[in-house]
Amino acid sequence: MGFWNRLRAWFPGMRAAADYEAAAMTRRTTGWVTVTSDINTLVFRNTDTLRSRSRDMVRRNPWATNALDAFVGNCIGTGIKPQSQHPDASLREEIQALWLRWTDEADASGLTDFYGLQALACRSVMEAGECLFRLRPRLPKDGLSVPLQLQLLEAEHLPTNETRKLENGNYIRAGIEFNGIGKRVAYHLYKEHPGDALNPMASTELVRVPAESVLHLFRPIRPGQLRGQPWLTQVLVKLYELDQYDDAELVRKKTAAMFAGFVTKNAPEDSLIGEQNPDATGTALAGLEPGTMQVLLPGEDVKFSTPADVGATYDTFMRVQLRSIAAGMGITYEQLTGDLTGVNYSSIRAGLLEFRRRCEQIQHQVLVFQMCRPIWQAWIDAAVLSGALPQSKDLAPYYDVKWIPPGFAWVDPLKDIKAQIMAVRAGFKSRAEVVSEQGYDAQAIDREIAADNERADSLGLEYDSDPRKEPANASAASGDSNL
């Protein structure tokens, strides 16, 4: 044992190989170059290039575009909607009604509503790695239900090369100003998009905006991270090269299919039936009508084109590569490509369950926490100060809110509804929670049911769907008398 210990001390590479194979310096790891930089150094140094390439892929590559659309459609859908938890029922309804009116006024550019801004922000975070909201207070004369609007800014408004020490002791890192204890106190933003070459007002002037007026959205992947990276980072090279390969296969097949055959003549001046005058390049072409029989002179020959096929491995190769891309972007292969070959109920459900866990993580840890929650608080403050909501010394009940993401539709909703009924009857879940999982407000649903029942009673109508009455086909309607 003493000999082997001394041998390991003399040869560090041998010691590493004995401890961890992945840390050993062997032929298998030759060329494996790693860095020990922190996440901010890596992001600040590469994010401009990564962002521009990511945007290029989304503009030109259908798989990249569809991947973003699929994730945003599932994560945002029609919107992550708030449900006020204020203890006063009448005031709670007033808050909800006021919020509903304001959602149509939320966008400072007037292009969409608040939930459209959610979708645009989610897409921007995926494509560029991050985006910013500016909270823009408005004047009473602007005529808004609540004097507040939101301005969504692309990541390019926040420079990555603005890093310096300030005279007041604060410091700026990649456009974000921090105080002595590392708290964000301001953002230094370009007044106009630096890439807007057609804007006569464009400039490189930076404006200092207090941090309480800016929401910075990105998905942190390492502790201490300050800026986000595009979600396509891991698959950008693969997307780029796969797109080129697929185009090359298309061009190869197209070129091969252009030639039906080749004729060898005895002399250049000999003519064939159907031969046309040479084209601009001097190439003589010939075409035949159906049923034509061509008599060849002695020595002449005709060879028909046999274009090469893409091969039996093309489909398998593309599928494997696209699965890798889907895994790198956090979506399923079926969502990326729309290919449902070989899919059954169990397999698609298992894949969607994993995908929806990722959606829920992004919904609550990024979108709700970084965007929805502070916007709700700023909206409440503006509503109370403007008199749109009653004044109160304690605003905590106003701030209390539950955010409800859109519900997920399953492949076989009948089975899931039966499972939900069983969970509610067994006491494992409340009916309100079931309604929330579908993306609806349980209190609003209850009010609608009560209104439906009242209207039906006033008109003397009876339906099997009325739970107050026992329909004749109750067992058939439930699908299982034991439920």
pLDDT value, residue 475: 46
Instruction: Give the least confident one: 1-15, 289-303, 413-427.
Output: 1-15
**Residue 394, pLDDT above cutoff 80:** yes
Determine the average pLDDT of the residues in 366-377: 97
In a domain, residue 175? The reply is no
Q: What is the pLDDT of residues 197-235, one digit of tens each?
A: 888 777 788 999 999 999 999 999 999 999 999 999 999
pLDDT value, residue 275: 56
Tell me the pLDDT of the chain averaged across its residues. 85
Reduced to 3 states, what is the DSSP secondary structure of residue 403? strand
**Residue 481, pLDDT above cutoff 50:** no
**Residue 29, pLDDT above cutoff 70:** yes
pLDDT value, residue 471: 52
Strands 301-304 and 401-404: unpaired
pLDDT band at 414 (very low <50, low <70, confident <90, very high): confident
Assessment of whether the complete model's pTM goes beyond 0.75: yes
What tokens does 312 get? 């039996």
Q: What is the pLDDT of residues 418-472, one digit of tens each?
A: 888 898 888 888 888 888 777 777 878 888 888 888 888 888 888 877 777 765 4
Instruction: Give the least confident one: 237-246, 274-283, 384-393.
Output: 274-283
* Spatial separation of the C-alpha atoms in residues 186 and 178, rounded to whole Å: 7
Q: 370 versus 429: which is more confidently predicted?
A: 370
Range of the domain at 449: 412-483
In 105-260, beta strands by DSSP E = 130-137, 148-154, 164-165, 171-173, 176-178, 184-190, 206-210, 214-218
In a domain, residue 202? The reply is no
Residue at which a domain ends, from 334, 353, 371 = 334
**Residue 474, pLDDT above cutoff 60:** no
pLDDT band at 70 (very low <50, low <70, confident <90, very high): very high
Most confident listed range (150-154, 246-250, 330-334): 150-154
- Pick from 135, 176, 125: nearest CA to 155: 125
Q: 275 versus 369: which is more confidently predicted?
A: 369
pLDDT value, residue 436: 78
The total of structural domains in the chain comes to 3
Contact by Cβ (8 Å): 136, 151: yes
pLDDT value, residue 374: 97
Residue at which a domain ends, from 334, 361, 390 = 334
pLDDT value, residue 295: 63
* Spatial separation of the C-alpha atoms in residues 284 and 52, rounded to whole Å: 47
In a domain, residue 50? The reply is no
In a domain, residue 24? The reply is yes
What tokens does 40 get? 């901010």
Determine the average pLDDT of the residues in 281-291: 57
In a domain, residue 264? The reply is yes
pLDDT value, residue 2: 62
In a domain, residue 81? The reply is no
Residue at which a domain ends, from 275, 300, 334 = 334
Looking at this protein, which amino acid is placed at residue 111?
Answer: L
pLDDT band at 104 (very low <50, low <70, confident <90, very high): very high
